[in-house]
């Protein structure tokens, strides 16, 4: 999924404040990653940019806060 598809899938994402939690992480192949939190949806998303210039395409993976909350063991 590219970043535009990600925002288009939920209007709250585009309008929400975001906090960048890290934007200069690279893997062993030089691919850059960025981690952001979307206030209105409670989602974290990781954006991966290509290691070589090949246009504006970016891949996105997201996780909502509801899927990351610990479950009660009681």
Q: How confident is the model at residue 71 (pLDDT cuts 50, 70, 90)?
A: very low
In the sheet with 18-26, reading across from the earlier edge strand, the strands are: 18-26, 32-38, 43-49, 59-63
Backbone phi, then psi, for 56, in 5-degree steps? Answer: -85, 5
- Cβ atoms of 34 and 23 within 8 Å: the answer is yes
- Cβ atoms of 33 and 21 within 8 Å: the answer is no
What's the CA gap between 60 and 35, in Å, rounded?
Answer: 10
Q: pLDDT, tens digit, for every residue of 11-37? A: 999 999 999 999 888 888 888 999 999
Residue ranges per structural domain of the chain: 3-66
pTM summary value: 0.64
Of 60 and 44, the one with more pLDDT:
44
């Amino acid at each position: 999924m590219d970043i535009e598809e990600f925002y288009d899938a939920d209007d709250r994402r585009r309008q929400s404040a975001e906090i960048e939690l890290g934007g200069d992480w690279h893997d062993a192949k030089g691919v850059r990653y960025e981690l952001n939190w979307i206030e209105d949806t409670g989602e974290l998303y990781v954006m991966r940019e290509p290691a070589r210039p090949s246009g504006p395409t970016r891949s996105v993976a997201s996780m909502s806060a509801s899927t990351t909350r610990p479950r009660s063991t009681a």
